[in-house]
Amino acid sequence: MTSLRPYLIWFAVAVLLTLGAIRAIGWAKKHPEHFPGARFEFDQPQGWATHRKLVGLAADDAACFAVFDRAKVGYLRRPVVGQGICRASQRMILTRDRLVPTMRPANAAPGCAVTAAMALWTRDVVQPAARKYFGQRVVALENLGSYNCRKIAGQRAQSEHSTANAIDISAFILADGTRVSLLNDWKDEDVRSEFLHAVRDGACGLFSTVLSPDHNAAHANHFHLDLAARPLGWTVCR
């Protein structure tokens, strides 16, 4: 019996590990938002793996547009522009079943992955904050553009705008026509400022980079949002 004891112990360990693996697989199936290997879908809540999946979509055109196709979301895919480090192949405009408030101007056409991140930001952050602070919805987003082949101001690195993997949001338009802008309302100690800070903070778990007026003077009038791929998935929120 003594000689069998080590084998029994190893057998018990193997059984426990197997049961643990089975439970882990079951948990992952019930919570795909936390599992990097699970396919991204719009009907999932945000989870540990959401940002990683969005960054992955930015590098996979077919997989990204398939997300919108499976959700039966109407969109217009815009022509590829640029080449090399300035090639933007994911530019799109939503046409119906709007997951994102109307863009003004409408021709911004951010990348597919950025649009997907904006959809979650709208659902989980922007609209709940608008209801909390104003009792109404945001119906439009003013933007300063998406695609722009250039380097980051003052740096050698290429901007994520060079591939339309970024969007600059300057103002939010409410259902009653109220305009909440970063340039005019960020520093005021009132409900508009609270709303803007709330939606900035809520963007930080979705996007790789979130830059606001708190970052520098160059961002005094807009939020910069992008899905840059970085080592270990680290993010910037300022």
* Domains of the chain by residue range: 1-30, 40-237
Rounded to whole angstroms, the Cα distance separating 195 from 50 reads 24
- Of the candidates 143, 147, 145, the one whose C-alpha atom is nearest the C-alpha of residue 86 is 147
Q: What is the pLDDT of residue 27?
A: 47
Q: In sequence order, what are the beta bridge partners of 169?
A: 143, 223
What pLDDT, on a 0 to 100 scale, did the predictor assign at position 236?
A: 96
Q: 146: closest CA among 67, 17, 58?
A: 58
What is the arithmetic mean of pLDDT over 126-145?
98
164: pLDDT strictly greater than 80: yes
Assigned token pair, 89: 């192949």
Check residues 185 and 32 and name the one with the higher pLDDT: 185
- Residue 24 is predicted with a pLDDT of 45
Task: For residue range 50-98, list pLDDT tens digits in order.
Answer: 999 999 999 999 999 999 999 999 999 999 999 999 999 999 999 987 8
Print burial letters for 91-113: b (CB count within 10 Å at least 16), e (below 16). Answer: bbbbeeeebbbebeeeebbbbbb
Q: How far apart are CA 168 and CA 163, in angstroms?
A: 14
* CA distance linking residue 70 with residue 128, whole number of Å: 25
Tokens of 120: 């979650």
Please tell me whether the overall predicted TM-score, pTM, comes out greater than 0.75 for this model: yes
Measured distance CA(136)–CA(102) in Å, rounded: 15
